[in-house]
Amino acid sequence: MPDSPAVAHGVHEASGSSHAGEHPAYLRHHFESVEHQAGTTIFAMWLFLLTEVMFFGGLFTAYLIYRNWYYPAFVAGSHQLSIPLGGLNTLLLITSSFTMAMGVWCAETRRKSGLVLCLILTFILGLGFLGIKTIEYSEKIEKHHVPGFHYSLQSFLDPASDEAAKAAGDKPLPLDMARHTEVYFSLYFAMTGMHAVHMIIGIAILGFMIFRAQAGAYTTGHVTFVENFGLYWHFVDIVWIFLFPLLYLISRH
């Protein structure tokens, strides 16, 4: 690719180091070279992401199995979710992945103000996602769709009394199947909740990175931290890319 040059990064940035000319200050002594260090850290980050794949994979598997068992309950449950809100959240998260990718590019090409701007945008888009999630959760709380002692079956036993169920043309479920909607919402809260926890952790790290980036920490050729955080952020985006169709979209008919 002519427009995206490959550069050996950081090798000659040793001005702050006492070993000027030998190696940069951020090179740990147990690595042979900056490239060795960067490659090792990124490999480690990918191994961590694989454990995350297994973690979310367990939740996805549980969802698939229970959806097959209690299909009518899962259809009725998913009709309670708002596609416009879920779609808007998908839009926010994909855009935040883009701003994060641009942030990595800014760090690589040593554009400090660009990096700060990208991180702030990613931070704001992430908060926007959580804001919309809060609106969705509060609606579930109001309708007593949170699993537990106060769980209400009304939307499923008497769909005519519930706007969302009526709009989807739901038929009343028999009592035993209606009870299984609680399984749907348990998985809904477990999966979107764990995803939201990952978002909150990501946003907290982004806040820290914005200050470090302003101090010029990531624009000296040492981009591993920004790059690895980018991997984490994109992974969280991928989880949502699968959650959105599975929870919101596939049970409309």
Partner 1 sequence: MSEEAKHEEHEHHIVSPVVYVVILFALLVGTALTIWASYVDLGVWNPIIAIAIACTKATLVVLFFMHVKYSSKLTVLTVGAGVFMFLTLISMTLADYISRAWGSW
Q: Residue 124 or 231: which CB sits closer to partner 1?
A: 231
The answer for residues whose C-beta is within 8 angstroms of residue 201's C-beta and 6 or more apart is: none
Q: Residue 7 or 20: which CB sits closer to partner 1?
A: 7
Instruction: Return the sign of the alpha-carbon dihedral for residues 208, 189, 246, 166.
Output: negative
CA distance 127 to 124: 5
Least separation in angstroms between residue 150's CB and partner 1 is 31
CA distance 189 to 186: 5
The answer for residues whose C-beta is within 8 angstroms of residue 117's C-beta and 6 or more apart is: 106
Task: Name the residue among 40, 34, 28 with its Cα closest to residue 8.
Answer: 34
Q: Residue 49 or 153: which CB sits closer to partner 1?
A: 49
Q: Residue 83 or 141: which CB sits closer to partner 1?
A: 83
Instruction: Return the sign of the alpha-carbon dihedral for residues 81, 82, 87, 89.
Output: negative
Least separation in angstroms between residue 208's CB and partner 1 is 21
Least separation in angstroms between residue 60's CB and partner 1 is 7
Q: Residue 54 or 215: which CB sits closer to partner 1?
A: 54
CA distance 161 to 180: 19
Least separation in angstroms between residue 138's CB and partner 1 is 23
Burial class (CB in 10 A: 0-12, 13-18, 19+), 237: buried
Q: Residue 185 or 244: which CB sits closer to partner 1?
A: 244
Element (H, E) at 80: none
Least separation in angstroms between residue 57's CB and partner 1 is 5
Least separation in angstroms between residue 13's CB and partner 1 is 13
Q: Residue 28 carries which side chain, given as an amino acid letter? A: R
Q: Residue 60 or 189: which CB sits closer to partner 1?
A: 60
Which residues sit at the interface with partner 1, rule CB under 8 A? 1, 3-9, 33, 35, 38-39, 42-43, 46-47, 49-50, 53-54, 57, 60-61, 64-65, 68, 83, 87, 90-91, 94-95, 97-98, 100-102, 105, 108-109, 227, 230-231, 234-235, 237-238, 241-242, 244-246, 248-250, 252-253
Least separation in angstroms between residue 188's CB and partner 1 is 17
Contact by Cβ (8 Å): 9, 223: yes
Task: Name the residue among 115, 80, 31 with its Cα closest to residue 189.
Answer: 80
